[in-house]
Structure 1
């Protein structure tokens, strides 16, 4: 008789693929930071850019931790697996937009970031929608536990992303990254200090 795999047996395989993509995003960000250390005079340092790099690192690590709740999923399908891979690819692409291969046609990383902001904030907005689906995948109980959080934070951050796509105002972008970083840090602290 053939053994049917359980959700607990399937998830580690899915987590490995997700981990590879998340690891590539983290590697991209760390390699980019290393460029500043290796060649401090070559690139101008931007508060907006580095703050988004720090926030993105936090988001990637948080995502990896958050996805451990997928162990509770009992029934897996290729569609759910594919969805999770798409989610991780979106996070990876955001990392690539912070440290592209070549910025020669731009004055700096900040100049590149502000000129490519529609892509970055479009992807960030899509993670908000992806997160709602991801939370639902983890089960009704899990979804209900975060329903109010999703109902409040998702529309607010989605609107902020739409505004960020339209404006290159430095003050707005500094405020946006500060709000995002604080929110991420508070959310992580809350999760880590809540018993499972």
Structure 2
């Protein structure tokens, strides 16, 4: 059996093939987050809500939907190597890991979501850093012109977010965490409206 190091099908064929696995992973992410939110309705006496945690859930839902939207530009990659394929899967999988951390399988050992989130914030924000680093690589895969089209604000935005995540890993200040997640949501919305409200 002959093995090729790259796929040379039409762009549309490759894109359809690749987006199937991405869709599966992102579907699991959304399922995890929505199921977690449903727990608050199912067991209101046992699931103690934490506003910062809920805000990060909202951010992740928005970011996952945004990810699926802007990955449309993967069709610009004309030659797919297995390494690129693995990279895209790795990038999508980071969203799943973050979603799983927001809603663990069991909460018995924690007094509520504030206790849980703060105890696992190093893991969560480490993954968020990886997501933003992976996003830079993903953008470059789509071409230098695509990367440059975002302007100087794009790398600055990533650097600021990564720095904020590092601070969030070190501090338990509720004021900082509230401000950080609020600005993260606003930034994500602005980024979507400015750069990805339409595709073409």
Tell me the TM-score normalized by structure 1. Answer: 0.94
Q: Aligned pair 1:60/2:64, yes or no?
A: yes
Return the offset for 1:74: 0.6
Q: Which residue of 2 aligns with 1:40?
A: 44
Aligned equivalents of 1:61, 1:4: Cα separation in 2 = 29
Does the 8 A contact of 1:7 with 1:76 survive in 2?
no
User: Which sections of structure 2, spanning at least 5 residues, go unmatched?
Assistant: 1-6
Q: Aligned pair 1:181/2:185, yes or no?
A: yes
For residue 106 of structure 2, the aligned residue among 93, 98, 102 is: 102
Return the offset for 1:194: 5.1
Aligned equivalents of 1:103, 1:39: Cα separation in 2 = 12
Decide whether aligned partners of structure 1 residues 195 and 127 sit closer, same or farther in structure 2, where only a CA change above 3 A counts: closer
Aligned equivalents of 1:182, 1:9: Cα separation in 2 = 36
Greater displacement, 138-147 / 62-71: 138-147
Aligned equivalents of 2:195, 2:39: Cα separation in 1 = 33
Aligned equivalents of 1:9, 1:34: Cα separation in 2 = 37
Return the offset for 1:154: 1.2
Decide whether aligned partners of structure 1 residues 150 and 191 sit closer, same or farther in structure 2, where only a CA change above 3 A counts: closer
Tell me the TM-score normalized by structure 2. Answer: 0.92
User: Which sections of structure 1, spanning at least 5 residues, go unmatched?
Assistant: none
Q: Which residue of 2 aligns with 1:159?
A: 163
Aligned equivalents of 1:193, 1:19: Cα separation in 2 = 20
Return the offset for 1:193: 3.9
The DSSP-based 3-state class of the residue aligned with 2:127 is helix
Does the 8 A contact of 1:69 with 1:138 survive in 2?
yes
The number of aligned residues is 194
Does the 8 A contact of 1:51 with 1:177 survive in 2?
yes
Return the offset for 1:25: 0.5
